[in-house]
Amino acid sequence: MKNIYFMGECMVELRAMSAATLHQSFAGDVYNSAVYLKRSFPQVATSVVTALGQDNLSKKMLERFESEQLDTQFVFAHDSKVPGMYYIETDAFGERSFTYWRSDSAAKKVVSFLNTDVVKQLSQGDMFFFSGISLAVIDENAREDFWRVVKQLKSAGVKIVFDPNYRARLWNSVDETKTQYDLAFGLADVTLPGVEDLETLYDVHSVEDVIEYLKIYNIDEIIVKNGPESVITQLDNTLQSHTIIPVTNVVDTTSAGDAFNGVYLGARLSGKSIADAVQLGAKAAGAVIQQPGAIAPKDVFQLAMGKAGI
């Protein structure tokens, strides 16, 4: 059985149902990807690596992980911190905006739990996934330890997967971000950037610019997402362009990229070609953006993926 570890933050999601009513759920970029991977490819062992608290919301979040059949052996319980929280609003075009309460969340402390025994177990994995948000959230003074862990995993043969997923408000400066991303790209075997992720950081404005910029890192597998327009992939220096059929009924774009990432990686771990993996990832993203919130109802999502041949 193939396995993958997703390291990052899951938060409490609040979404307005009416002027006086909020819907509460759980979401976060790496968690969303893990959910959509597991729903589409149940044969892939999918684990979340994060830290929660010992409060009731943390317990409910853990129960949600388990209900999605995610492995939780590396979901750690901090003795004094609690999960972060965000409020999401969407406009008439499905574009979203967020208000966050996460500056002291338990997930910031996750690296402190990655002791020798944990790293040894993670070293048995096939893939280790983290994002730019994962990097931004962890304590700055823990980043050196984090990179030490990533290097150990790579040396053990684990494929390192990085999604830049740039959120400017989470970083102190562009220079700080670029320093951390340089380390991430330098260790990545697979990367899944969106063009908009890298525009501000590296002054790249097209898929071709992104591919050209990433050449210096010798990354084996590059998947560049360009919104609803197309996906360009590079595998072992072979470029492919993949046409994506856009969705017209856009309700909420919150986790389109997360769904793509999860299903793409699940497909690759399951032996699918890069072209098939892109189409399945795009199908997942298209299904998700037609539903409100980061996590689409399971029956709706699996119906859509069933039609895609999974």
d(CA 263, CA 281): 5
With beta carbons less than 8 A apart as the criterion, state whether 70 and 47 touch.
yes
Q: What residue type is assigned to position 128 of the chain?
A: F
With beta carbons less than 8 A apart as the criterion, state whether 269 and 41 touch.
yes
Cα–Cα–Cα angle for 102, 181, 226, rounded to 5 degrees:
90
Give 160's Cβ-side CA count (13 Å radius). 22
Q: Which one of 117, 220, 258, 276 is the catalytic residue?
A: 258
With beta carbons less than 8 A apart as the criterion, state whether 232 and 198 touch.
no
**Burial classification of residue 163, based on how many CB atoms lie within 10 Å of its CB (0-12 exposed, 13-18 middle, 19 or more buried):** buried
What's phi and psi for 227, nearest 5 deg?
Answer: 60, -140
* pLDDT on residue 249: 79
With beta carbons less than 8 A apart as the criterion, state whether 272 and 44 touch.
no
Beta strands 3-7; 45-52: pairing state? parallel
Q: Can you spell out the DSSP letters for 200-218?
A: HHH---SHHHHHHHHGGGT
d(CA 95, CA 254): 8
Quick one: DSSP state of residue 109?
A: G
* pLDDT on residue 225: 86
CA dihedral over 151, 107, 224, 210, signed as positive or negative: negative
What's phi and psi for 22, nearest 5 deg?
Answer: -115, 140
What's phi and psi for 176, nearest 5 deg?
Answer: -60, -45
Whole-model pTM: value is 0.93
- Report the SS3 class of residue 262: helix
d(CA 29, CA 257): 8
One digit per residue, pLDDT tens: the chain, 310 residues?
999 999 999 999 998 888 889 989 999 999 999 999 999 999 999 999 999 999 999 999 999 999 999 999 999 999 999 999 999 887 777 677 889 999 999 999 999 999 999 999 999 999 999 999 999 999 999 999 999 999 999 999 999 999 999 999 999 999 999 999 999 999 999 999 999 889 989 999 999 999 999 999 999 999 998 776 689 999 988 999 998 877 777 776 778 899 999 999 999 999 999 999 999 999 999 898 888 778 888 998 988 888 666 6
Does the annotation mark 258 as catalytic? yes
* pLDDT on residue 28: 94
CA dihedral over 151, 153, 156, 160, signed as positive or negative: negative
